[in-house]
Amino acid sequence: MHSVLVNDGVLIPSSPCHALCSFAARSYCVRSVAVIGAPSSAARALCPPPSLGRAAPNSTGLPPSLKRNGLGGILKKSDGPQLSKAPVGLGHSQLKSKGRRESYRTWKVSSVESLPDDFPLERTSRHIPDADAPVVSARISDCLRDRSIEAKYDDLKAIAKCRTQDFVSFKIRLFSGREDVEGGGIIVEVQRRKGSSHCFMKDCRAVLSAAEGGSADNVEDETMIYLKRPVSDMACLKGVQVSDDNTEQDIETPKRLLSDDNYDSHILGMESVEKLTNPLHAAPEVVVLAAKSVILPETSPEIRDSISNLLKHGCLRPDEAVLTGPEGDNDFNEQMHHLALTSVLNAVRATAKDGTLADAVSQQSDWFSHVLIPALVEDIRNAPDRAHDARTAIECLKSLSRCSPLAKTMVVAAGALDALEQVECTDLNSALGGDVKQMSHLLSQQ
């Protein structure tokens, strides 16, 4: 299949029909995207996203990032995240308690500095006339809470450091508009620090819209068409058969990646498991086989063992040192943990639809009662820090409880009701609060 690379690292097949058949039948597109990856940091700097506000024109003709740091500084930086190793014995939960996040409190900014004359604003900025800093900061924190975006606020410097469920990091900064230039008001600058530019732009537009007093819900849904419905449901793909040999070969790929010594291979391996268990990305036959490799492995349990380590210990190999970023963050292992959670949720839903989940709970009762369910309950307890993981864990427990009475008994025995009651007392976003109430009601029923 011939293909060309255009724009932001998107693979465009020359034969759409061939690409669709291959995508639904064997999930080739998933691996193609993983191989190509996102553009380098230098390429992103040279091709910034489109303007969203009324930022001042750049007198140098260069993007703001080049004007700030210079081209040489950008080209010298590594394209990948700079990771260091924490001392051995410092586990995932200890790192989280060490750097406790202020995820969902209100941002209270009383005063802001005036925009310096020589400060080059990012294009993802907006001037809000006749606005006060306390009002704008409260609007932004409400938007971040509703979108389950983690945030760490500095009220004095008027800076918010944020991270989305896609592990996109960005910074929000408030300035006071100059009376002789902007006519006063508040200037909101949103600057991407790390992660996918496409995912960043969706949240950036929502934040800027909320800062102006608009609703973040009015931001256009940019979900791709093929992500709204399984491609296998398309009329042109009806009747496409997938051979058993090819399906088993697809399952072997994440096993090989997870056993590799390269950390990038571990990420690709868990992403492959997540995509193979998702009916929006893989054929039904592949989804069922991948789901059983997670829930009910018949031969080699490598995938489930990897997921068990990520859920229970927070890292793929508990005997190794925990990777941390330059600011002490634990993004690598937290992203692996999130992918493992999503893979389990996909697998639970697929086996529940297939009618094999209840039998899997009975046959693998030790794993469900001692590994999976306690780990999911612990993710619920950590909802104030990781709301998106808590929502995923609740959805997984709901599917288990509805499908299997034995699983519901295990969930209650693991202390899920106490965890839900504890989380319900905290300041949660509306979506997570609704999930907590539904789960509590489900477990309370006889």
* Neighbouring residues of 321: CB distance < 8 A, sequence distance ≥ 6: 85, 86, 87, 88
What backbone phi and psi angles, to 5 degrees, belong to 74? -70, -45
pLDDT at residue number 214: 83
pLDDT string in tens for the chain (446-residue length): 444 444 444 444 444 444 444 434 444 333 333 333 444 444 444 445 444 444 344 434 444 443 444 433 333 333 444 444 444 344 444 444 444 444 456 898 988 998 888 888 899 999 999 889 999 999 999 898 888 888 889 999 999 999 888 889 999 999 998 887 778 889 999 999 988 898 899 899 999 999 998 876 655 555 555 555 666 666 766 666 656 556 677 888 899 999 998 888 999 999 999 999 998 888 888 898 899 889 888 767 889 999 999 999 888 888 776 666 555 567 888 889 999 999 999 999 999 998 999 999 999 999 999 999 999 999 999 888 788 889 899 999 999 999 999 999 999 999 999 999 888 877 666 677 888 888 999 998 86
pLDDT at residue number 432: 79
Q: Which two tokens stand for residue 215?
A: 């609703």
Please answer whether residues 384 and 104 qualify as being in contact, where contact means their C-beta atoms are separated by less than 8 angstroms: yes
Q: Which two tokens stand for residue 40?
A: 């380098």
pLDDT at residue number 70: 42
Please answer whether residues 24 and 283 qualify as being in contact, where contact means their C-beta atoms are separated by less than 8 angstroms: yes
What single-letter amino acid sits at 105?
Answer: R
DSSP string, 352-378: HHHT-HHHHHHHTHHHIIIIIHHHHHH
The residue among 317, 310, 392, 313 whose CA lies nearest residue 349 is 392
Q: Which two tokens stand for residue 71?
A: 């081209």
pLDDT at residue number 410: 95
pLDDT at residue number 52: 46
* Paired residues of 152 in beta bridges: 161
pLDDT at residue number 326: 55
| Cα 147 to Cα 66: distance, rounded to the nearest angstrom | 31
Tokens 């990781």 found at: 386
pLDDT at residue number 17: 45
Helix, strand counts (H, E) of the chain: 20, 9
Around Cβ 102, how many Cβ atoms within 10 Å? 14
SS3 6: strand
pLDDT at residue number 366: 93
Around Cβ 365, how many Cβ atoms within 10 Å? 13
What backbone phi and psi angles, to 5 degrees, belong to 212? -80, -5
| Cα 56 to Cα 64: distance, rounded to the nearest angstrom | 11
